């Protein structure tokens, strides 16, 4: 799957992923009204609105992008009905040929991680059947429990040719509280990064490993260091746009081959119509605003990478 992701990044010339993290107040009124008319002001109504909203954005952007990253929390907040919308979103993205990165940040002791891995990336044994549940292509994983919490994910990745992105340095303001804590002069995230590189060596694709890392765009100096520590690791980079990072902050997350990183934007794309910059589209044409925001984001990153290559 890492090979397919890279192929689709090359084909679209867009090292980006659209974060499908729909808050209900991002969804234009015409969609919410229709869903509430059908299902009432219920969890099912909210889930339907979110799904219809996603569908519009996917239709408007799928030819421009290699991948999407639905954030499961935004669906889980609507309970079982929300998770049905998550499932529908994944299936629809697959129909459209997109790689799906499930931003689930799961991680537990071995036997429990095995269940998460089966449910999200692999197959669950039911009698004589082996059945897929959520069936994402990649999942994000939390490393706090150490190797035996990660290994079951790697095992399933090997069986299914799928991948994971392990949290190394997250994009939020307080990520340093534990992740930056120094041990023998080195921050925890470097130890995690070294471990990600070691796990990754056990399952390589053509040029990059199936085992990737998450390093936030909001800490560009960390990105530069982690790029060197994990040269064969694909880096999923959250924090672009609404969280503050720009294309120029991102150049050191990439390798000289122009690959090695994929940059996420969520709110900046899916709620673009709410920004002054894209206000002319209006709520009725929210998906066209998202399309324009994708084009602008890709142009920003391309030009930053281009400028960096010239220097």
Residue 198 binds to a second copy (criterion: CB under 8 A)? no
CA distance 18 to 95: 16
CB of 117 to a second copy, least distance (A): 9
User: Cβ of residue 98: shortest distance to a second copy, in angstroms?
Assistant: 20
- The Cα 170–Cα 218 span in angstroms is 9
The least CB distance from residue 12 to a second copy, in Å, is: 26
For residues 273 and 110, give the distance between their C-alpha atoms in angstroms, rounded to a whole number: 43
Q: Which residue number, 233 or 292, has a Cβ lying nearer to a second copy?
A: 233
Residues of span 277-296 touching a second copy by CB under 8 A: none
Listed residue (189, 187, 212) closest to 137, CA to CA = 212
Nearer to a second copy, 110 or 231 (CB): 110
Residue 46 CB partners (closer than 8 Å, separation 6+): 24, 35, 78, 81, 82
Give the nearest distance from C-beta 200 to a second copy in angstroms: 16
Helices marked H in the chain — which ranges? 2-12, 29-39, 43-61, 73-76, 79-95, 110-120, 147-160, 176-179, 188-201, 220-229, 267-270, 286-310
| Burial (Cβ within 10 Å: 0-12, 13-18, ≥19) of residue 21 | buried
Restricting to residues 22-51, name those near a second copy by CB under 8 A.
Answer: 23-24, 32, 36, 41-43, 45-46
Residues 221-260 that bind a second copy (CB under 8 A): 238
SS3 call for 297: helix
Active site residue 88: no
Residues 151 to 180: which contact a second copy by CB under 8 A?
A: 167, 170-179
Between 104 and 297, name the residue whose CB sits nearer to a second copy: 104
Q: Please, which residue, 131 or 284, has the CB nearer to a second copy? A: 131
Q: Which of residues 91-150 bind a second copy (CB under 8 A)?
A: 105-113, 115-116, 118-120, 124-129, 131, 133-134, 142-149
Residue bearing tokens 């990737």? 212
Active-site entry in 105, 123, 246, 274: 105
Smallest distance from a second copy to CB 170, Å: 5
Work out which of 4, 84, 255, 275 binds a second copy, going by CB under 8 A: 84
How many residues line the site for a second copy (CB under 8 A)?
Answer: 72
Number of H helices, E strands in the chain: 12, 12
Catalytic residues: 105
């Amino acid at each position: 799957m890492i090979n397919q992701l890279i192929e689709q990044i090359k084909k679209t010339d867009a090292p980006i992923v659209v974060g499908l993290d729909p808050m209900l107040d991002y969804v234009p009124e015409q969609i919410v009204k229709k869903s509430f008319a059908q299902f009432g002001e219920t969890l099912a109504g909210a889930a339907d609105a979110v799904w219809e909203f996603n569908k519009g954005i996917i239709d408007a952007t799928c030819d421009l992008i290699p991948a999407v990253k639905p954030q499961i929390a935004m669906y889980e907040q609507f309970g079982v009905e929300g998770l049905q919308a998550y499932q529908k979103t994944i299936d629809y993205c697959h129909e459209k040929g997109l790689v799906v990165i499930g931003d689930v940040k799961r991680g537990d002791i071995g036997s429990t991680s095995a269940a998460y891995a089966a449910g999200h990336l692999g197959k669950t044994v039911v009698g004589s059947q082996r059945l897929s549940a959520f069936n994402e292509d990649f999942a994000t994983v939390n490393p706090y429990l150490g190797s035996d919490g990660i290994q079951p994910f790697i095992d399933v990745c090997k069986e299914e040719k799928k991948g994971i992105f392990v949290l190394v340095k997250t994009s939020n303001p307080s990520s340093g509280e534990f992740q930056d804590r120094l041990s023998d002069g080195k921050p925890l995230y470097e130890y995690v990064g070294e471990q990600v590189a070691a796990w990754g060596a056990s399952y390589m694709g053509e040029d990059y490993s199936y085992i990737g890392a998450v390093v936030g765009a909001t800490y560009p100096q960390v990105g530069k260091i982690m790029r060197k520590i994990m040269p064969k690791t694909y880096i999923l980079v959250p924090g672009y746009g609404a969280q503050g990072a720009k294309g120029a902050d991102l150049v050191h997350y990439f390798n000289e081959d122009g690959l090695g990183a994929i940059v996420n934007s969520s709110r900046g794309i899916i709620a673009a119509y709410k920004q002054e910059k894209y206000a002319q589209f209006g709520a009725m044409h929210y998906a066209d605003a998202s399309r324009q925001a994708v084009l602008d984001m890709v142009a920003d990153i391309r030009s930053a990478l281009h400028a960096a290559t010239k220097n």
